Amino acid sequence: MQAQRAALLHRPVRIQVNHYRYHAQVVVAEADIRKYGALLAKVQTLDAVTLQQQLNEARQSDAAEVEPLRAVAYNDVVLESYEPEALIKLTPMQKLIGVLA
């Protein structure tokens, strides 16, 4: 009995990784990079209203992982621009993300 128990304790653990899910996330992230890169290239030629419309359209298909980071990144840019009055209030989770980032 103890030999069986010892054999169970020393059995290698197999971890399964869902490669298809990981690959899909990478594809979505790369599409987001291309989408925002194209928008950034056109930013000088667009008026504010058109830019806001295209930005809103681009955000509709963002990866779900991006959304919680948006406010944190905004506040980071605002602080780098020395305009603390433009900061937006963060949720406790966003504050944690900001500390970790």
- Enter the pTM of the model: 0.49
- Average model confidence (pLDDT) across the chain: 79
CA distances (Å), 87 to each of 20, 69, 82, 83, 94, in order?
Answer: 39, 14, 10, 8, 13
pLDDT at residue 12 is higher than 70 = no
Q: Which residue has the higher pLDDT, 16 or 33?
A: 33
pLDDT at 17: 55
Dmax (CA) of the chain: 77
- CA 37, 64, 47, 80 torsion-angle sign: negative
pLDDT tens per residue across span 42-70: 888 988 899 889 888 888 877 677 777 88
